Structure formats: structure tokens, C-alpha cells
Structure 1
Amino acid sequence: QNLCFLFPAVVTPCLKFLIYACLLLFSVLLALRLDGIIQWSYWAVFAPIWLWKLMVIVGASVGTGVWARNPQYRAEGETCVEFKAMLIAVGIHLLLLMFEVLVCDRIERGSHFWLLVFMPLFFVSPVSVAACVWGFRHDRSLELEILCSVNILQFIFIALRLDKIIHWPWLVVCVPLWILMSFLCLVVLYYIVWSVLFLRSMDVIAEQRRTHITMALSWMTIVVPLLTFEILLVHKLDGHNAFSCIPIFVPLWLSLITLMATTFGQKGGNHCTGRVCVCVCVC
């Protein structure tokens, strides 16, 4: 997404596909590590995440170099907005990278509080709010930034629970997550209702019907397995089931594979990966 102001139709779908592929590989390695099937260091388990951030940094470096060497871009209003959006996205990704490095260090050494580990996320949220305001003013889609801004309460609850400052069940700790997932379920219901209406309408062309049915099926295949994964994970954290991590992660893998399959059918924007990132980091 960092080069989208140069060739958006090609780079953005490719980067989205690579990001989802990195998340899929990371979740597989994490499940294997948590089940003790592999004994790798968590620094190695997080290798797909490091690759994702490396792509962001390289893309931003190339984009900035092109911007610096081509002054004519600065006179184009839309290109200037795209460049600023790239800088915002890179800044947020660097804060996420800091959080991920602290997570690995905390797991490997266990020498500091989780509140300190989550501090970059606490900074990401207000920055994301400002980015959302800027995006709305410039008619720019910033889905990742929106998700980071609305998840501040969830970040605080998780950090407090991991530090045992609060002793709530994980089912209660994840109340902000359930609220957000309820909204996504309403979106799924919306697409299903519209698909049924379009199927029954005689004034709608076949292509529009196929588009709405495809959207409804895609949302269902993403949201329902994701919600299943979250419920199974919370029940495991609360000690209500004895499943190993691999069966719990299977629904998440289905959601990620669906996202990968639908990537090249999307146009523009910074499609969110934050929802999946938060769910995986809870584990």
C-alpha cells in the first residue's frame, strides 16, 4: 500500500495478498509453537511478521525516493494526499513493529510488564484517531487506522489482565471485541438480506445479483470462522475446553485464506488487517 500513489491497481492487491499470506504463515507457526510441535524461538515464529514490516519499510523507502526525485508529483493534489497517507500508514506500522518486538522480548525473557509491552498500541490509538479525521477530510479510506482507534479499550483490558491487575474472565475482558464482532455480524446480515432481495427482484441484472451473492458469501466465510476462532480461544484461556491450539486456529486460517482469495477483487484503500492481528495477539 506504500506505493499505491504510483501504481495502485497493481501494487495494492499484491501487497494485501502478501500481508494475508504472512499472517497465515505466522498463525500456523504460532499454533505449532504453542502446541509444542516445534520448539523454535518466538523471534523465528514471528518471522512472517518481520517480513510484512520489511515490505512496508522497503515500500516506503522506494516511494519516498521516487517522491523526492520527481518534484512534479508535489504539484498534483491527489498524489500529495496519497503520499501523506503512505507516511501515516508507515508511522502506524512502525509502532506496531515496536509492539511486536516487545511481545517477543517479553515472551522470551519475561523481564517487564505487559503494560509496557502494550504502550506502542496505546500510542497507536490516538494517532489513528487523528489519521481517521484527516482521512475523512481528504476522502481517504483508512480501515486499519479506524480499527486501531476503536480498539484502545481492548488493548488496555488485555494488558491489565496479562499483568493480573484485574482478574476478570477472558470472556469479560473481550467485551470490546464482542461489540465489534456484533457490528461485523450486522454487516454480514445486511449483505445476506440485500442478496435475497436482489435474487427476488426482476429489475436487477444478473451481474449485480452475482456481485451481491459473492459479497455475502465472502463476508460469511470471513466473519463466521473469525468469530468461531475468538470464542474457542476465549474458552481455552478461561479453561473451559482442553482443545489444542491447532483446532482452535483452523477457523482463523479459513478466514485468512478467504481474504487471500478475495484480495484481487478489491479496489483501493488500505484494507484492514488489524482485526486479525488483534485476535492472534490475544493468544
Structure 2
Amino acid sequence: GILTPAKAISKASYRVKNGIAAADRVFEILHEKDSMEDIPNAKILDGFTNELSINNISFKYDNDLVLNDFSITVPKGKTVALVGQSGSGKSTIANLVTRFYDINEGSILIDGNDIKNVTKKSLRSLMGLVTQDSILFNDTIKNNILIGKPNATDDQIIDALKIANAWEFVKDLPQGMETNVGDAGNNFSGGQKQRISIARAVLKNPPIMILDEATSALDTESERLVQVALENMMKNRTSIVIAHRLSTIQSADQIIVMQKGRIVEQGTHVELINKDGMYKRLVEMQSFE
């Protein structure tokens, strides 16, 4: 049949058109002006000494209020966990603190400096972000980890891999950390990718850690390994954890329970269990997604 090749050709040309449209869109984004440019004379933050505070912020996404008059203070060295069901606004906070979006009202301060008045580069250099989707590039494990600290030594990389519980599988690879991760990390399992991106954050060693602690996509064994890696990383560090699982939350200094962009309860695990409110119900249902 001549029909099959003819169909294939028409499909291919359709794909090329699609590809061109996608490429146009990529170039459009690359050339787009940064809508949140640094202000003239923006301050350079050169460290973190005191606290990160979020003050009465509201944030709208397409006219829907995602956060409503929301405030928390994260003192240096403490771990604050945000919990709540899907749509409660907890993941938005990571994007606001790192200034990928700007708030509509209120302020976010680091040691008293409004993050709108500091350079985005210096702001983000203070922060390590581990998200649900470990973003890996088609390059070696080593180069993926070096993004956090380009001049690090191999020994420092290995230390970071150990803390991230990743050395145990990397050391057995024929090419070790020179192994290519493949396109989007496809050569590795979800748990392995997550641990490589935790190693990157560990090597960068930022004073503030923001974790979208998504272990939901992992099997039980790698979840346990990732969990331990996250706990290793959070020791003596200021952390905001967007928590999906109970294990991370129990040791947090402060747990913030969110619902529809507002705080409904806050306290330690024990305090909140004794309160017998929404947190206790979430714990019983094991549902922090």
C-alpha cells in the first residue's frame, strides 16, 4: 500500500509544523524581557544572619487568590513545614520567596531587606531549591552537581553525594560520576534523580533551603533513602519544607497548616495533635498532598 508512506509523510510534515511552532515559542520566551528586573541600585545580599519573614502577603494567580494575608517568620537555623491539601497555596510560597513571581500585597524580607530591593542573583545564591521534579541536564552526574558550585573538588562532590545518599549507587556505575544522566535524567530512576539533585543543593550549601518535599512519586525503598538525605541536609540549616509526608514534618520546629491560602493552625507536631483540629485529621488521613 502506498497509503501508509503517504500518511507517514503527512504526519511528518504536521510534526515539523508543530516543531516550528514550538521553536518559535521557545525563542519568544528566550527573548522576552525579564518582567521583574532588578531595581536600579538593587542591594546585593551577601549572607543570612537573622530571619526570613513573610508579612501579610496576598498573591493572585489569574484573579484567584492563592494566598490571603499570609504571614510566617522563619528564624535562622529553624525548620518550618507547610502542610495542607492540594490547592492550599503551600507550593506557591517557594516561588514567591525565590522571587519567580511577585506578590500583590505585603512583603517578604530577608534580615529586614525587602526582596524586591535586592538583586535576584544574590537572593537566589542564598537559597537552595529542591523541587518535585529534579531538573537534570543531559550531561554527567558530576556536571549536574557542579551547577551549585562550579569550582568544587571531586572530594567535595563525593561528600555531597554521600550526604544525599547517592554515592551508594554512583560509586558502582562503570564511569562513576562521569556517567551521563541522559536526556532529563532518563538513565536513572526517580529516587536516584532526586538524590542527585539533593547532592547539588548540598554542594551549593546555601544558608536557606526550600524543599518541595515530594517523595510521592517514589517507591518505598528510595523514598526512605531520599527522606534520610533530606534530613541530613536540613540539619542546622534554615529550611522551609513544603511537606507531603508525615515523616519530615514531625521534627519541624514549626508546622503551618494551610487551607485556601490562609493559616488555620500552627505549632509543633505534639501541640497540633493535642489541639485535635485540622492537622490531626490530616495526620489520620495521611493526606498532605
Answer whether TM exceeds 0.5 for this pair. no
Structure with the largest fraction of strand:
2
Give the TM-score of the pair, scaled to structure 2.
0.23
What TM-score do you get using the length of structure 1 for normalisation? 0.23
